[in-house]
Amino acid sequence: MADDVFADPQAWGFETRAIRAGQAHEPTSGAVVTPISLATTFVQEEPGVHRGYEYSRTGNPTRRALQDCLASLEGAGHGLAFASGMAAEDTLLRTLSPGDHIVLGNDAYGGTYRLISAVLAPSGIEWSAADLTDPDSLGAAMRPETKVVWAETPTNPLLTVVDLAATAEVAHAGGARFVVDNTFATPYLQQPLSHGADVVVHSTTKYCGGHSDVVGGFLATDDTELAERLAYLQNAIGAVGSPFDNYLTLRGLKTLAVRMDRHCSNARALVEMLKAHPAVSTVLYPGLPEHPGHAAAASQMSDFGGMVSFRLAAGRDAAMSVASSTSVFSLAESLGAVESLIEHPGVMTHASAADSPLEVPDDLVRISVGIETADDLVADLEGALDRL
């Protein structure tokens, strides 16, 4: 974990850390880019004496660079990189035992809901969903056995904002850990540990990687005891990404700040168009002053992100039609990359949440705003709405 590899003064700004933290120049050649370390095993001076690496599932130099860099960006003492966001989530939730209880935000990522309700629940993990924007709903869901309160903010796909400090307080009063999935905001816009979270989860597949070409996940924490347990589980379970995956994610992090600035400004341009369009009944974006979570978002985020959802006045068929008739926006699942994507959550990303507490409205369209020319994005989506 974060120790000797590279002096990493937290005094450096975010952009400098994104490019340098954990990324010492390669000592043999002086290469300024972290090498992709493909070796599965590392030489030992004598049995048990080595330079910090034995076997690549347990520890790998490329993964280590990514871990140290992203931990630094989250302001965390420890970070662990996984083969996917779900692998990170599964590893974290294996710290629980049968009978333990999870409170999950009622607007969680569909895969998180599926992992908890369909994979962990049958082996005795209890769970309930709560509206985390309502302290009474969270309070009512807490049980003596509650070990984890799991939030996303902004949420997927309804862009609901959870007040991190207020939720941390309720979780901690009940003796639970507060876990925040920071995939949508990224550490550039929001650092949950500084608002009371105990663990930050990422699907680095999204903004951290940022180019739709690598699947990965991450856990960050300041709790050394928990970090040691997680490192044990990471090695014991083995859901680590390849060195090439880790390299791509590290490469993506270097431009996270400039990409996020453009994601945010392009999202603002699209929100303005959507607000004015008669076919759109509601625009869901935390940057809008009328958004119920706007004040919380403004206090815990430095900008409002690149994800926007909207509802169509004419209902499901209109939503399906808009999602199918853009040309700059590609109709696809996933989010957070340079190219703009559009989707119908009810049929695509959130199909598995149908008839559950996490069901989403069928007139909803979600867009992941990319970093293309803003005018092209506005014209493309406006054209699709005009054709309804």
Active-site positions?
A: 57, 109, 181, 206
Enumerate residues 203-232 that contact ligand PLP by CB under 6 A. Answer: 203, 205-206, 215, 217
Per the structure block, which two tokens stand in for 51? Answer: 């330079």
CB of 362 to ligand PLP, least distance (A): 20
- Distance between CA atoms of residues 388 and 378, nearest Å: 16
Question: What is the smallest separation between the CB atom of 334 and ligand PLP, expressed in angstroms?
Answer: 7
Among 183, 191, 309, 326, binds ligand PLP (CB under 6 A): 183
| Closest C-alpha to 69, from 155, 150, 121, 1 | 1
The piece of 24-32, 83-91, 95-103, 167-175 that touches ligand PLP (CB under 6 A) is: 83-91
Complex with ligand PLP: residue 109 or 329, whichever CB lies closer: 109
Amino acid type, 234: Q
Q: How far is the CB of 20 from ligand PLP (least distance, A)?
A: 25
Contact 109, 181 (CB under 8 A): yes
Cβ-based nearer residue to ligand PLP, 146 or 212? 212
Please tell me whether residue 376 adopts helix, strand or coil conformation: helix
Q: x/- string (CB under 6 A) for ligand PLP, residues 38-77?
A: ----------------------------------------
Answer yes or no whether residue 156 interacts with ligand PLP by CB under 6 A: yes
Which helix (H) or strand (E) segment holds residue 366: the answer is strand 364-368
Read off the amino acid at residue 187: P
Sign of dihedral through CA atoms 157, 158, 159, 160?
A: negative
Contact between 345 and ligand PLP by CB under 6 A: the answer reads no
Q: Considering only the stretches 66-74, 166-174, 180-188, 295-303, report the one whose residues sit in contact with ligand PLP under the rule CB under 6 A.
A: 180-188
Residue 135 near ligand PLP by CB under 6 A: no
Both structure tokens of 261: 């600035």
Question: How many helices (DSSP H) and strands (DSSP E) are in the chain?
Answer: 13, 12
**Binding of residue 192 to ligand PLP (CB under 6 A):** no
Selected binder of ligand PLP within 21, 69, 70, 86 (CB under 6 A): 86
The two tokens of residue 88 are 């990170």
Residue 190 binds ligand PLP (CB under 6 A): no
As measured in angstroms, the least distance from the Cβ of 159 to ligand PLP is 12
| Cis, peptide link before residue 122, omega less than 30° from 0 | no
For ligand PLP, which is the closer residue by CB, 246 or 384? 246
Which of 75/111 has CB closer to ligand PLP?
111
User: Closest CB to ligand PLP among 81 and 171?
Assistant: 81
Of 287, 296, 284, 286, whose CA–CA distance to 133 is shortest?
A: 296
Binding ligand PLP by CB under 6 A: which of 90, 181, 303, 363? 181
DSSP 301-324: -SS--SEEEEEETT-HHHHHHHHH
Task: Let me know the angle formed at the C-alpha of 158 by 303 and 141, rounded to the nearest 5 degrees.
Answer: 105
Q: How many residues bind ligand PLP (CB under 6 A)?
A: 16
**350 makes contact with ligand PLP (CB under 6 A):** no
* 93's tokens: 């939730």
C-alpha span between 183 and 84 (Å, rounded): 12
Q: What type of residue sits at position 49?
A: V
Residue from the set 107, 152, 363, 380 that interacts with ligand PLP by CB under 6 A: 152
Nearest distance, CB of residue 82 and ligand PLP, angstroms: 8
Q: Is 242 exposed, middle or buried (0-12, 13-18, 19+ CB in 10 A)?
A: middle
Q: How far is the CB of 288 from ligand PLP (least distance, A)?
A: 21
Q: How far is the CB of 218 from ligand PLP (least distance, A)?
A: 9
- Give the torsion sign (CA, 181, 185, 190, 191): positive
Catalog residues that contact ligand PLP under the rule CB under 6 A. Answer: 84-86, 109, 111-112, 152, 156, 181, 183-184, 203, 205-206, 215, 217
